Structure 1
Amino acid sequence: MALPPSNARVVIIGGGVIGCSVAYHLTKLGWKDVVLLERKQLTSGTTWHAAGLIAQLRATKNTTKLAKYSQELYGSLEEETGVATGFKRCGSITVALTEERREEIYRQAAMARAFGVEVEEISPSEVKTRYEHLNIKGVTGAVYLDKDGQGDPANIALALAKGARQRGAQIIERTKATRIVKEGRRVTGVDWEQGGESGHITADMVVNCGGMWAHEVGRMAGVNVPLHACEHFYIVTEAIEGLKQLPVLRVPDECAYYKEDAGKMLLGAFEPNAKPWGMEGIPADFEFDQLPEDFDHFEPILEAAVERLPMLAEAGIHTFFNGPESFTPDDSYHLGLAPELDNFWVAAGFNSIGIQSAGGAGMALAQWMEGGEKPFDLGDVDISRMETFQGNKTYLFERSKETLGLLYQDHFPFRQKETARGIRRSPVYWQFLDRGAVMGEFAGWERPNWIAKPTQTPEYEYSWKRQSFFNNIAEEHTAIRNNVGMYDMSSFGKIRVEGKDATAFMNYVGGGQYDVPVGKIVYTQFLNPTGGIEADVTVTRVSETAYLVVTPAATRLADETWLRRHVGDFNVVITNVTAGEAVLAVMGPNSRALLNLVSPNDFSNEVNPFGTAQEIEIGMGLARVHRVTYVGELGWEVYVSSEMAAHVCETLIEAGADLNLKLCGMHMMDSCRMEKGFRHFGHDITCEDHVLEAGLGFAVKTDKPDFIGRDAVLRKKDEGLKNRLLQFKLTDPEPLLYHNEPVLRDGEIVGYLASGAYGHTLGGAMGLGYVPCAGETAAEVLASTYEIDVAGTRVKAEASLKPMYDPKSERVKA
């Protein structure tokens, strides 16, 4: 057996379908000196026992793009490599057994059309026509995707491996990576063992494609890769006489999927309470292994399946299979450049959709490695979304019990994870919880999402229609618009940038102008070289040599990493200070009156105008107030050190009693910001959305001589806009919008909503979405007729480029 070479451009660790795909796509881009190390044999971890379902439609535009690419690639891979992949476009059917699930899959179908995926809503009788074996009792609706299919997982991986080898990659089996060597923020190579021999490969880059071992491989490099193995069950029947090729069938309400395979039926399950596995580590000799049978655990799924597919009652069970799969805390896979290092990449944690994801994930990662920039928005799967604590093994064990089953649970709006909760609590957690706050979890933070009344059960009751808290949000929203409300923003990231070069560094890395007086707040974006938005933040100059960068909770690590990667020769220190201060947002027309009751400081426009911060006394403590808003009203964010936060919160609540101060939650904030047209990073603005097309040109100061993205901004000004971000409001007040609903312009689909929420002041569901506009004026764009597709029904919508609520921001500056 060949030994590894002494050096390589890239070492890929792991020979499952993902590692083989990365090697295939790198060599396709012309990379030489590509080495893949597999500890045992290719596909011997989890790839070999995958079900091989290949679907195009995922939850977002870009993950759908990756899945579509996979099925297109697998359709041509056999011809290229000569390896039979077993790929068949047999189609797929997903059936609903409830009205809520029917709305979910019909909304997904509408989304598919916006993403360019062919989809068809079909009736129960049409399901029976296409899948004669199905008992359609209780079926409320279904969707059919003609180009979905299935394949042979191991052979798909082996075909990718052969394609990589044909272009010069070295794929070396029975060779274990034992150590990753680093210098500073870079890996320099990998130690290996093969049989009784050992050695070292120097490498320019390393890719962790370790599957369920990726957590441990990451630890070797000091990189956090949160995932945990779970047991995954399926059965294969004896041969069934006369059984012909069928579409892949999913019955998510019964946690089941079905696949015809060579005249047999495969029934698999994503049960609600999963069984984590490998808590003591994965056995060193694991290779093509099965786990012990647990028929009692699988039996409820099988009982429902026999009712749903009566022919199973007559078919004997040929194989009862239990094998491990790896799952991440949020059911999205991990892809990209590890935040901790500058040349260590990750592609792992595919949550039982590794086969359908592998082609696209390998393509995207290879392009990222080649170009040094994400080829398109990958925020949903970018490894930098994971907080460090999420690598905690106890946390992963608890969360993995839920995430496997969530794949087939109803994906209701605002659905909250139920496991591994209560880890990150704000200093004012109890002050809100004791007053009815219903907590949601976000990046591990427990955040008040809405405030229950004493007569209400303080918990979510999920639906696609108006949920139980709809009126609560309306009342919170009204308080913010007409009086005063307070909500907890402590979870937002806070990054301190300090040093003698702080101003110069901020002016290089950000689009705004940061050479401003101490106390000035700058709303700004960090841009990439194409003018796309990498971060959307506020930056406050807190001293001559220090700035506070405030980021969304979910992107704090990514934004901090972006700053660190661009420090270069600038003399600055970057520190995450999120936990050091709580933040209470006091917002509404009476916010100034409330602050005057608790502080001797001056909150007038003359002393504390919009966009400035000041140090204040408050109650018996000290704080710093930032006069900014994300809800479109007069208001202040009160920053207070963590040990004084409870006192300040209670002081505000007590003083606010006479003003009818209302405690509020995050859902209210989203509703208010939507009326004001404020962008939300990750939805409305991403790394592939140009800052000018997002309508944020006012925040970019091109008179600065040099900053990242400046050339792209000037180029776009010369070329003109190809897209515009519009604000929409449905004319019918009843339907609800969430995100990804198709936007129709003069009857044709032209885009989709990036985000949606109900506008309680304006009286209808609202959304933001991009519309193509090459060569058109703003007036021409607005002259069209617009509709939004809500679960297959077209609803008329008003469109605007200016905020529909308070377009001149007069209330904010009152």
Structure 2
Amino acid sequence: MKSIPKQAQVVIIGGGVIGCSVAYHLTKLGWTDVVLLERKELTCGTTWHAAGLVGQLRATKNMTKLAQYTSELYATLEDETGQATGFKQNGSISVAPDAGRFEELKRGASMAKCFGLEVEVISPREAREMYPLLNIDDLEGAVFLPKDGQTNPIDVTQALAKGAKMGGAKIFENVRVCGIETKSAGTSGARRVSGVEIEHTGGSETKIISAEIVVNCAGLWGHQVGKMAGVNVPLHAAEHFYIVTEDIGLPSNLPVLRDPSSWIYAKEDAGKMLVGCFEPKSKPRPLDSIPEDFSFGQFAEDWDHFEPAMLNAMHRIPKLEDAGIHTFFNGPESFTPDDRYILGEAPELSNFYVAAGLNSIGIQSAGGAGKVLSEWIVNGHPPLDLWDVDIRRFHSFQGNSQYLKERIEETLGLLYAMHWPFRQSETSRGVRKSVLHDRLEKAGACFGEMSGWERANWFAPEGKAARYEYSYARQNWFEASASEHRAAREKVALFDMSSFAKFMVQGRDAEKVLNRICANEVAVVPGKAVYTSWLNERGGIES
């Protein structure tokens, strides 16, 4: 058996798909002193039971670029490593049963074209030609992405692990991290990671591996590992459900089907059909309810919870009514407060990086996320704008277990909910309120959430409800907002700045320092305000 080294340049905690991807990509950048530690066996946490969907279109250009890279990587990984991945590109079809959803799909298709993705807006009849099992009686239209794919999660992770080992990385299973070592990073009180404390699973003797860099890829246990380091990693487990039918003779080239309005996705799986859901109200699962030795595990069946989604699936794919059920699966996935994963260097601890909270899109995200995080580690800064997923976007209150439990009830379902412009979260609200909150509310304020603050977004006229009516057309707040703009321009307006960050810069060199940090000239006469961006150490803008 390989002996565990006493020191390493990089220690990666977690042997799921993202941990193995980080190890693989670090070796591609020439870093070979890399150690990956897995508490049980590779993929045994949440990776092994993933549906294996590899979509490419995400909400922003950079997130789409990362998903595209993942697809390109999986297409070549078997040739590189000799390890089969099961990757194939049958495409995907997303269907819309109403005008609102079809509008969303068409907007997504337009964005996909701008990002260089192949995409087709198709009629219900064309959708059925591609997917003969489809009930199109109530469909408005559909979108087809021909390069979307699917893969075997265990196999693709093993391929990444093999590629990492071919590049010099060392992987150890049945080794549990039980502590994070830190040291002073200077006179300011800042701390730097210096290693990890480990024990063999089932053992009691611990040892220290010294490390320059530690990467938390612990998935379901990412929040717990973060706590060991004094780092806030706001993620929470939720139960995720799918069924696999008996063999019903499905062709191997059948596209993945998504019907987000029915909460469901379906994919061909060796002649069977896998049907999963992202229901509007999920079942959060506290970590302390998951056994310490959880490995390739699952939870009890809950047909009452899954039944509405299954009925939706049978409506969309009538063949399911006669199909036998081979497997009912219920297992954990980790979700974040805003449905975006967590990436980057922790603000609380230098050289401690995080890649976790993949929100059920870990397989399609792992390649790109592993690549950019590795470049971030090697170069000391992200290679592109990653603020969508940067760990620094979170606040300390978002690590609160009750906050996370309430929010995760909502966020799982948001993967397939309508993505309306200006949509506001409905759960875990009221965390921070201005001292003027009651008066703003009395004046008809409709509140949105920003960094936990209840912020007055607009004021409803007398007799109207202070409530968003979402639409892709002009929304109900437009005239109310216009009247506020006119008041600010032509009369007077009072702004509540409670939710905005404020910095006091004092001292002899305050102006000199600010002129270096700011993009605009701040050497102005007292009493004058300057609107400006703050720049990072490379002169760039990050948010």
Say whether the fold is shared (TM-score over 0.5). yes
Amino acid at match of 1:102: F
How many correspondences in the alignment?
535
**Pair 1:345 & 2:349 matched:** no
Q: Deviations over 1:470-496 (max 9, x none)?
A: 222222223233333333232111122
* Equivalent position of 1:372 in the other structure: 380
Contact 2:341 2:389 in 1 (8 A): yes
1:529 is displaced (CA, Å) by: 5.5
Q: Deviations over 1:650-709 (max 9, x none)?
A: xxxxxxxxxxxxxxxxxxxxxxxxxxxxxxxx4xxxxxxxxxxxxxxxxxxxxxxxxxxx
Amino acid at match of 1:48: W
TM-score norm. by structure 2 comes to 0.96
Q: Deviations over 1:719-751 (max 9, x none)?
A: xxxxxxxxxxxxxxxxxxxxxxxxxxxxxxxxx
Aligned ranges 1:243-392 → 2 under 5 Å: 243-280=251-288, 282-392=290-400
**Pair 1:241 & 2:241 matched:** no
Q: Distance in 2 between matches of 1:162 and 1:495?
A: 49
* Equivalent position of 1:90 in the other structure: 90
Contact 1:243 1:264 in 2 (8 A): no
Q: Deviations over 1:543-590 (max 9, x none)?
A: xxxxxxxxxxxxxxxxxxxxxxxxxxxxxxxxxxxxxxxxxxxxxxxx
* Equivalent position of 2:420 in the other structure: 412
Q: Distance in 2 between matches of 1:443 and 1:431?
A: 21
Aligned counterpart in structure 1 of residue 477 of structure 2, from 444, 469, 488: 469
Amino acid at match of 2:338: D
1:431 is displaced (CA, Å) by: 1.1
Contact 2:514 2:522 in 1 (8 A): yes
Aligned ranges 1:380-459 → 2 under 5 Å: 380-459=388-467
Q: Look up the SS of the partner of 1:48 in the other structure.
A: helix
**Pair 1:190 & 2:196 matched:** yes
TM-score norm. by structure 1 comes to 0.64
Q: Distance in 1 between matches of 2:249 and 2:77?
A: 31
* Equivalent position of 1:54 in the other structure: 54
* Equivalent position of 2:106 in the other structure: 106
Amino acid at match of 2:465: T
Q: Distance in 1 between matches of 2:507 and 2:11?
A: 37
Q: Distance in 2 between matches of 1:354 and 1:213?
A: 15
- Summarize the Cα distance change of 1:7–1:501 in structure 2 as closer, same or farther, 3 Å threshold: farther
Q: Distance in 2 between matches of 1:76 and 1:296?
A: 42
Q: Distance in 2 between matches of 1:190 and 1:244?
A: 45
* Equivalent position of 2:167 in the other structure: 167
Higher-Rg structure is 1
Q: Look up the SS of the partner of 1:266 in the other structure.
A: strand
Amino acid at match of 1:189: G
1:2 is displaced (CA, Å) by: 2.7
1:508 is displaced (CA, Å) by: 4.0
Amino acid at match of 1:192: I
Contact 1:213 1:282 in 2 (8 A): no
1:281 is displaced (CA, Å) by: 5.4
1:304 is displaced (CA, Å) by: 1.4
Q: Look up the SS of the partner of 2:77 in the other structure.
A: helix
Q: Look up the SS of the partner of 1:188 in the other structure.
A: strand
* Equivalent position of 2:37 in the other structure: 37
1:89 is displaced (CA, Å) by: 0.4
1:278 is displaced (CA, Å) by: 2.3
Among all aligned residue pairs of Structure 1 and Structure 2, give the percentage whose two residues are the same amino acid. 59
Amino acid at match of 1:188: S
* Equivalent position of 1:121 in the other structure: 121
**Structure 2: runs of 5 or more not aligned:** 185-190
Contact 2:241 2:329 in 1 (8 A): yes
1:292 is displaced (CA, Å) by: 0.7
Q: Deviations over 1:754-783 (max 9, x none)?
A: xxxxxxxxxxxxxxxxxxxxxxxxxxxxxx
Amino acid at match of 2:481: I
Q: Look up the SS of the partner of 2:413 in the other structure.
A: helix
* Equivalent position of 1:64 in the other structure: 64
* Equivalent position of 2:213 in the other structure: 205
Flag as ranges the 4+ runs of structure 1 deviating above 6 A: none
Name the structure where strand makes up a greater proportion of residues: 1
Amino acid at match of 2:413: G
Tell me which of the two structures has the higher relative contact order, counting C-alpha pairs closer than 8 angstroms and 6 or more residues apart.
2
* Equivalent position of 2:81 in the other structure: 81
1:244 is displaced (CA, Å) by: 4.0
1:516 is displaced (CA, Å) by: 5.6
- Summarize the Cα distance change of 1:281–1:6 in structure 2 as closer, same or farther, 3 Å threshold: farther
1:530 is displaced (CA, Å) by: 4.9
- Summarize the Cα distance change of 1:525–1:466 in structure 2 as closer, same or farther, 3 Å threshold: closer
Q: Deviations over 1:289-340 (max 9, x none)?
A: 0011100100011111111101101110000000000000000000011111
Contact 2:21 2:370 in 1 (8 A): yes
Q: Distance in 2 between matches of 1:230 and 1:419?
A: 15
Q: Which region of structure 1 is more displaced relative to structure 2, 2-11 or 485-494? A: 485-494
Q: Which region of structure 1 is more displaced relative to structure 2, 13-22 or 195-204? A: 195-204
1:504 is displaced (CA, Å) by: 4.4
* Equivalent position of 1:576 in the other structure: none
Q: Distance in 2 between matches of 1:467 and 1:75?
A: 43
- Summarize the Cα distance change of 1:58–1:448 in structure 2 as closer, same or farther, 3 Å threshold: same
Amino acid at match of 1:453: P
Q: Look up the SS of the partner of 2:239 in the other structure.
A: strand
**Pair 1:148 & 2:148 matched:** yes
Q: Look up the SS of the partner of 1:112 in the other structure.
A: helix
Q: Look up the SS of the partner of 1:359 in the other structure.
A: helix
Alignment RMSD: 1.5
**Structure 1: runs of 5 or more not aligned:** 535-681, 683-814
1:435 is displaced (CA, Å) by: 1.0
Q: Distance in 2 between matches of 1:88 and 1:121?
A: 22
Amino acid at match of 2:199: E
* Equivalent position of 2:223 in the other structure: 215
1:186 is displaced (CA, Å) by: 0.3
